[in-house]
Amino acid sequence: MAKTQTQASTFERHALTDEQLRQILRNMLLQRQLDNRGFQLNRQGKVPFALGSEGHEALQAGAAMAFTRGKDLLAPYYRDLGLALGIGLTPYEILLSIFARAADHNGGRQFPNHYSSKAAGLLSFSSILAAHLPHAVGAAFALKYRGESGRAVLATCGDGTTSEGEWHESMNFAAIHKLPFVMLVENNEWAISTPLDKQMAQPEIWKRAVGYGLPGRRFNGFDPIDTYAAVKEALDRAHSGGGPSLIEGTCYRFLAHSTDDNDMTYRTRDEVLARRKLDPVPRFEAVLVDNGIMTASSIETLRKDVLRETNEATDAAEAMPYPEPGELYTHVYEGAWQPWQ
Ligand SMILES: Cc1ncc(C[n+]2csc(CCOP(=O)(O)OP(=O)(O)O)c2C)c(N)n1
Ligand SMILES: [Mg+2]
């Protein structure tokens, strides 16, 4: 495997153990496998919709490693498969959601890729861009109000979502009340067909932190360790009463926006191929091999393991029943009230 500039002498691991570094790669490989599975199942007519996180693997796996399980809360958006996996959801739980089966945490009622898990601290969210952010800062306000120090809310969104009014309102609220809150923006250069330069005149989103009176920084979202360091720093600050931060990871969306989109109608194949050269998966594999943390053959074993786990989870989730039609209004209206009565 080609040598990278991250050989042992310059390798900055930010106190991550070998085991944590291997877990990060496992998460990245699992994301890619489950992404593919969603698109395959859609093309087979088995699920109505799927979204991919390809290009975001490093950013999400690195960020998840900084999240404290059992304490922190995650308010994600629809492209956060790797964050969901990294804070403890299993491929089976993910697939129950994609297949909309009754055993899903949302009872098969949520839109695909809108995972939630009370046990994991993953808030349920809406497809309406930025609508989860007032909820996220509300949760952070509750943590502060109750004096639950050592806990924080990690919220994410895409670059395009930062144009929403609720994004600004949430940032401002978090700043005024010095909430234990981290706003992590996953800047992949596109908001469906809208490029970044048609979304904002200042392309460095983190710089808006100054206007809110917050610390902010940008990091390389193709590098999971750089991501981990940035998210850990911001979460540590939030845990210790230092208030909110705005951090921005740069990455790219390699696939179309979703299974309903054809990205070749608004961007060129050459642009996508150029960004694919920065693919975080082979780059991180090379880092682990160069630094003696994994070998080419242990990576191959891991790939097979991830494929097997994905196949087993797919079969198990697909075999589960859909929700009963009679349950349509359960959890929608209070008590036994039904809208036609
Ligand atoms: C309020 C609102 N406006 C428009 C949409 C339609 N929409 C869904 S995803 C999306 C693009 C969001 O882009 P970005 O925030 O950059 O996230 P990405 O998908 O690139 O990860 C749009 C416009 C929506 N869901 N909600
Ligand atoms: Mg985007």
Q: pLDDT per residue over 10-36, tens digit each?
A: 689 999 999 999 999 999 999 999 999
The pLDDT of residue 161 is above 60: yes
Burial class (CB in 10 A: 0-12, 13-18, 19+), 309: middle
> Residue 95 Cα, ligand 2 centroid: separation in angstroms?
24
Q: How many CB atoms lie within 10 A of CB 283?
A: 17
> Residue 194 Cα, ligand 2 centroid: separation in angstroms?
9
> Residue 157 Cα, ligand 2 centroid: separation in angstroms?
8
**What's the pLDDT tens digit per position in 63-73?**
999 999 999 99
Selection from 86, 78, 87, 83 nearest residue 38 by Cα:
78
Active-site positions read: 253, 257, 266
Q: Whose CA is nearest to atom 3 of ligand 1?
A: 129
> Residue 167 Cα, ligand 1 centroid: separation in angstroms?
13
The pLDDT of residue 3 is above 70: no
Angle between helical axes of 224-239 and 18-43 (0-180°, round to 10): 110
Whose atoms come closest to the Cα of 125: which ligand? 1
- Rounded-to-integer distance, Cα 6 and Cα 158, Å: 28
- Rounded-to-integer distance, Cα 12 and Cα 244, Å: 26
Residue-level pLDDT at 277: 97
For the record, the structure tokens of 63 come out as 């960020």
Under a CB-based contact definition with an 8 Å cutoff, are residues 204 and 162 in contact? no
Quickly state the pLDDT bin for 6 (edges 50, 70, 90): very low
CATH number of 15-319: 3.40.50.970
Residue 245 belongs to what H/E stretch?
strand 245-250
Residue-level pLDDT at 331: 77
Quickly state the pLDDT bin for 328 (edges 50, 70, 90): confident
Quickly state the pLDDT bin for 5 (edges 50, 70, 90): very low
Angle between helical axes of 280-290 and 224-239 (0-180°, round to 10): 90
Residue-level pLDDT at 8: 46
Contacts for 67-70 with beta carbons within 8 Å, 24 or more apart?
A: 67/154, 67/231, 67/235, 68/150, 68/151, 68/235, 68/239, 69/120, 69/121, 70/121
Which residues have C-beta within 8 Å of that of residue 80, sequence separation ≥ 6? Answer: 53, 60, 74, 156
Whose atoms come closest to the Cα of 193: which ligand? 1
pTM above threshold 0.85: yes
Residue-level pLDDT at 341: 65
Q: Whose CA is nearest to atom 19 of ligand 1?
A: 191
**What's the pLDDT tens digit per position in 211-241?**
999 999 999 999 999 999 999 999 999 999 9
**Ligand 1 neighbours (beta carbon < 6 A):** 79, 127-129, 157-161, 186, 188, 190-192, 253, 257
For the chain, which residues make up each domain, given as ranges? 15-319
Proportion of the chain above pLDDT 70, given as a percent: 97
Residue-level pLDDT at 57: 98
Choosing from 80, 129, 170, 186 the residue with most ligand 1 atoms within 8 A of its CB, the one to mutate for a pocket test is 129
**Can you tell me which atom of ligand 1 is nearest the CA of 157?**
15
Mean pLDDT of the chain: 95
Burial class (CB in 10 A: 0-12, 13-18, 19+), 192: middle
Selection from 288, 238, 271, 230 nearest residue 11 by Cα:
288
- Rounded-to-integer distance, Cα 69 and Cα 85, Å: 12
Quickly state the pLDDT bin for 337 (edges 50, 70, 90): confident
**Can you tell me which atom of ligand 1 is nearest the CA of 187?**
16
**What's the pLDDT tens digit per position in 251-304?**
999 999 999 999 999 999 999 999 999 999 999 999 999 999 999 999 999 999
For the record, the structure tokens of 232 come out as 């850990």
Residue 282 belongs to what H/E stretch?
helix 280-290
**Can you tell me which atom of ligand 1 is nearest the CA of 130?**
1
Residue-level pLDDT at 10: 66
Residue-level pLDDT at 1: 39
